[in-house]
């Protein structure tokens, strides 16, 4: 069976969505910060990062993030056209304070491949043999109490009483086989079974 095509994801400008990063050498940190502080399309996040905005009618939308690092300036956006625009815009705006180095592109498929694997579930600190002993005791006591408690499916008779009645005994047998089958599936899955028949009680 053919797999459905991967849905097409586009940026706000209609271009294919990609992770684009324009990198500049940082030659004059103070000049760069002053230039960014005076831009109407720039919002200072006060942590070395700036939001790059684009006017859309009377509103503005976020189209990129500018990060001032040690020795370099990086602007990240989501389309090839915007990355090229950022390259030209920053080169013109910053003058000799920066020097363009490169633009890198990564599509969604590539990003997913390098994403870290989900964390594995933490194993229980309780040893398996202790878990089996505790749960086994619980189920054993539960089902032995159940033998002497009224069950609606048996006309509010106890399973022990219903097993003596010819008309109801098949229901009791079917239910016990179901319990035994589920216990066996749990055992094969490596879990303590719900009940172990032949435990020595009557």
CA distance linking residue 146 with residue 151, whole number of Å: 8
Please determine, for residue 201, whether its predicted confidence score (pLDDT) is greater than 50: no
- Helical spans, DSSP H, in the chain: 29-37, 80-94, 108-114, 128-146, 159-162, 169-188
Beta bridge partner(s), residue 21 = 76, 104
CA distance linking residue 100 with residue 24, whole number of Å: 4
Say which residues have a Cβ less than 8 Å from residue 64's Cβ, sequence separation at least 6.
51, 52, 75, 76, 77, 78, 82, 86
**pLDDT computed for residue 175 by the predictor:** 75
Q: Domain ranges in the chain? A: 19-113, 128-188
Q: What is the DSSP string of 42-73?
A: EEE-SSSEEEEEEEETTEEEEEEEEEEETTEE
**pLDDT computed for residue 74 by the predictor:** 92
**pLDDT computed for residue 62 by the predictor:** 81
**Dmax (CA) of the chain:** 98
| Host H or E run for residue 75 | strand 72-77
Please determine, for residue 23, whether its predicted confidence score (pLDDT) is greater than 50: yes
| Host H or E run for residue 106 | strand 98-106
What's the chain's Rg over C-alpha atoms? Answer: 34
pLDDT, tens only, 64-91: 889 998 899 999 988 888 889 889 988 8
CATH fit for domain 19-113, picks 3.30.1490, 3.30.1360, 3.30.70, 1.10.3470: 3.30.70
**pLDDT computed for residue 135 by the predictor:** 65
Name the average pLDDT for the chain.
Answer: 75
**pLDDT computed for residue 202 by the predictor:** 47
**pLDDT computed for residue 27 by the predictor:** 93
pLDDT, tens only, 30-58: 999 888 888 778 888 877 788 888 877 77
Q: Region 128-134: what's the mean pLDDT?
A: 65
Q: What percent of the chain has pLDDT over 90?
A: 14
Collapsing DSSP to helix, strand or coil, 129 comes out as helix
Tokens of 42: 């720039």
CA distance linking residue 164 with residue 162, whole number of Å: 5
**pLDDT computed for residue 28 by the predictor:** 93
């Amino acid at each position: 069976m053919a797999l459905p095509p991967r849905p097409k994801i586009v940026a706000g400008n209609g271009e294919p969505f990609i992770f684009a990063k324009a990198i500049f050498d940082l030659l004059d940190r103070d000049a760069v910060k002053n230039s960014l502080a005076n831009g109407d399309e720039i919002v200072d996040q006060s942590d070395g990062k700036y939001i790059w905005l684009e006017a859309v009618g009377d509103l503005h939308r976020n189209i990129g993030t500018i990060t001032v690092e040690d020795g370099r300036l990086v602007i990240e956006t989501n389309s090839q056209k915007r990355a090229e625009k950022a390259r030209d815009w920053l080169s013109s705006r910053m003058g000799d304070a920066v020097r363009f180095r490169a633009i890198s592109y990564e599509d969604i498929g590539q990003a997913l491949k390098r994403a870290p694997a989900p964390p594995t579930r933490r194993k229980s600190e309780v040893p398996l043999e202790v878990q089996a002993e505790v749960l086994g005791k619980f189920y054993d006591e539960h089902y032995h109490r159940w033998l002497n408690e009224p069950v609606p499916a048996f006309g509010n008779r106890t399973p022990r009483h219903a097993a003596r009645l010819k008309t109801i005994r098949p229901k009791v047998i079917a239910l016990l086989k179901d319990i035994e089958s589920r216990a066996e599936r749990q055992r094969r899955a490596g879990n303590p079974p719900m009940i172990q028949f032949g435990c020595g009680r009557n």
